[in-house]
């Protein structure tokens, strides 16, 4: 019985497996390098935005001036009836919500800016089980009358990962088609896109949001405005990339050793 055939099959299988491992490891290393470059770019954008002069938001503000992380101020009236809660937003390890409310600009009532006003904790019952979970209504109400706020610009609300299909775009917490909605006076969503919110409210929104800064003039405000910074440790991703490339080198070395031994066995 010829034992060379099983040996040949196992050798080919080992070479194919090692080739796949090396290819996958190289791909993962390149992906980590891309992530590192993305984080460096985010760092550059943050530094450029925060170094820009403060921007006064008006109805005539052009889109090219709306740079991420740029300091901004605006004046107008809150629309409490259009407040939306963004669920699953943690702060200091505590579950809670971001509170988003539009501010109608005083310079032109037809225009508005969506403002992330801050964070409030989820409410738990005495038994430790979450009930409705919503913060008290008094904590959600923005002050009436003409208001002036300050903050920083973002092009969109940071997203939370959702387990839903991109093809049918079904969300676990969908935004009502029309706001305000009598059936859901305080909508709770996982993610919120400006276009969807504008369509539901009928507001003409500026193509940016404002993360409101903590102001000394609001001592009784219960909202927490300690906004989390994006992770910018590009060196960590570079280290991961080197590890993956190291694994790829080991697999490639093993591939060469096995191939060399197989060639030696085939010599007469």
**Pick from 77, 79, 76, 81: nearest CA to 176:** 81
Q: What is the DSSP letter of 101?
A: E
* pLDDT tens figures, 230-250: 888 999 999 999 999 999 999
pLDDT band at 52 (very low <50, low <70, confident <90, very high): very high
* pLDDT tens figures, 245-256: 999 999 999 999
pTM of the model: 0.80
What's the confidence (pLDDT) of residue 167?
A: 44
Rounded CA gap, 167 and 161, in Å? Answer: 16
Rounded CA gap, 29 and 23, in Å? Answer: 10
- Burial class of 153 by CB neighbour count within 10 A (0 to 12, 13 to 18, 19+): buried
φ, ψ at 240 (rounded to 5°): -60, -40
What's the confidence (pLDDT) of residue 130?
A: 44
Among 146-155, 229-238, 244-253, 257-266, which is the least confidently predicted range? 257-266
What's the confidence (pLDDT) of residue 69?
A: 95
Strands 71-78 and 204-212: unpaired
Residues forming a β-bridge with 120: 97
What's the confidence (pLDDT) of residue 192?
A: 94
Cis ω on the peptide bond leading into residue 180 (within 30° of 0)? yes
């Amino acid at each position: 019985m010829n034992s060379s055939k099983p040996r040949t099959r196992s050798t080919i299988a080992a070479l194919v497996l090692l080739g796949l491992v090396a290819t996958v490891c190289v791909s993962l290393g390149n992906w980590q390098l891309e992530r590192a470059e993305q984080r460096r770019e985010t760092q550059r954008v943050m530094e450029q935005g925060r170094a820009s002069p403060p921007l006064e938001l008006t109805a005539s503000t052009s889109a090219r001036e709306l740079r991420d992380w740029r300091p901004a101020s605006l004046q107008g009236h809150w629309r409490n009836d259009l407040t939306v809660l963004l669920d699953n937003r943690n702060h200091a390890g505590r579950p809670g919500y971001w509170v988003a409310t539009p501010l109608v600009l005083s310079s032109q009532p037809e225009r508005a800016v969506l403002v992330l006003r801050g964070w409030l904790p989820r409410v738990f019952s005495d038994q430790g089980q979450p009930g409705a979970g919503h913060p008290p209504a008094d904590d959600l109400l923005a002050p009436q009358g003409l208001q002036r706020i300050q903050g920083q610009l973002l092009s969109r609300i940071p997203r939370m990962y959702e387990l839903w299909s991109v093809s049918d775009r079904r969300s676990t917490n969908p935004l009502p088609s029309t706001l305000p909605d009598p059936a859901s006076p305080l909508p709770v969503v996982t993610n919120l896109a400006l276009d969807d919110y504008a369509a539901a409210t009928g507001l003409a929104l500026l193509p940016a949001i404002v993360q409101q800064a903590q102001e000394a003039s609001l001592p009784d405000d219960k909202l927490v405005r300690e906004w989390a910074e994006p992770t910018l440790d590009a060196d960590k991703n570079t280290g991961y990339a080197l590890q993956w490339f190291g694994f790829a080198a080991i697999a490639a070395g093993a591939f060469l050793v096995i191939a060399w031994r197989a060639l030696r066995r085939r010599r007469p």
